[in-house]
C-alpha cells in the first residue's frame, strides 16, 4: 500500500480488525521508510449486473424496477408484496450464479413471466401484454390459448 505521507510502497500491517458485521476489514499500517502510521479498509466489491435494453442502451440492474412491473400487473390480484420481492431476488440470484453480468432486458422479462405464470395466470397475462407490447385482441387470444394448452 502506498504511504500517504512519503509515497513509499514499503509498509507492514501492525493491526487487523474485522467490523462487527464482518463486511469490512480495518488494517493499521506502518510505513517502513518514514514510520508514518495509516489506516486502510477492505470491503467486498459486489458484482454489478448491467441490463442491455431493446434500444441498445445499458443501465444498472434494478430489482425495484422488476417489482414495480409486477406490482402493476398484479394490481387487485392475489400476489403479495413478499412474492414480488422474492421473484426479483430469485432473478438477481440466478443471474449472478450464472455469471451473467451483462443481460438482455428480454431475458429478465422472460424470467419474470415464467415465475409470475406459476403464481397467478391473470397477472402473468397482464405483464406479458405490456412487456410484449400486445397490439390487438388477437395477441391476447394467442396468449390465452397458450395458457389453456399448457393446462395452466
Measured CA to CA, the distance from residue 113 to residue 105 in angstroms comes to 12
pLDDT at 61: 95
Phi-psi domain of 86 (left: phi exceeds 0; alpha: psi -120 through 50; beta: other) = alpha
Predicted TM-score (pTM) above 0.75: no
Per-residue cell: 46: 459486489
- Stretch 80-102: mean pLDDT: 94
Q: What confidence tens digit (pLDDT) does each residue in 105-133 have? A: 999 999 999 999 999 999 999 998 888 78
Q: What confidence tens digit (pLDDT) does each residue in 40-58 have? A: 999 877 778 999 998 999 9
Give the residue carrying C-alpha cell 430469485: 90
Higher pLDDT, residue 139 or 67: 67
- Stretch 90-100: mean pLDDT: 92
pLDDT at 151: 62
CA-wise closest residue to 132 among 110, 152, 103, 115: 110
Buried b (16+ CB within 10 A) or exposed e, 29-49: bbbeeeeeeeeeeeeeeeeeb
Per-residue cell: 128: 406479458
Domain regions of the chain by residue span: 11-43, 50-149
Amino acid at each position: 500500500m502506498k504511504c500517504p505521507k512519503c509515497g513509499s510502497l514499503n509498509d507492514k500491517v501492525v493491526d487487523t480488525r474485522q467490523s462487527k458485521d464482518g463486511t469490512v476489514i480495518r488494517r493499521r499500517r506502518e510505513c517502513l521508510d518514514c514510520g508514518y502510521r495509516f489506516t486502510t479498509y477492505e470491503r467486498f466489491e459486489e458484482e454489478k449486473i448491467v441490463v442491455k435494453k431493446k434500444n441498445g442502451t445499458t443501465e444498472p440492474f434494478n430489482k425495484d424496477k422488476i417489482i414495480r412491473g409486477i406490482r402493476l400487473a398484479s394490481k387487485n390480484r392475489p400476489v403479495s408484496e413478499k412474492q414480488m420481492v422474492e421473484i426479483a431476488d430469485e432473478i438477481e440470484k440466478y443471474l449472478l450464479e450464472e455469471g451473467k453480468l451483462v443481460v438482455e432486458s428480454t431475458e429478465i422479462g422472460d424470467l419474470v413471466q415464467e415465475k409470475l405464470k406459476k403464481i397467478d395466470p391473470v397477472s402473468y397475462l397482464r405483464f406479458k401484454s405490456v412487456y410484449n407490447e400486445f397490439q390487438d385482441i388477437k395477441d391476447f387470444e394467442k396468449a390465452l390459448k397458450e395458457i389453456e394448452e399448457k393446462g395452466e
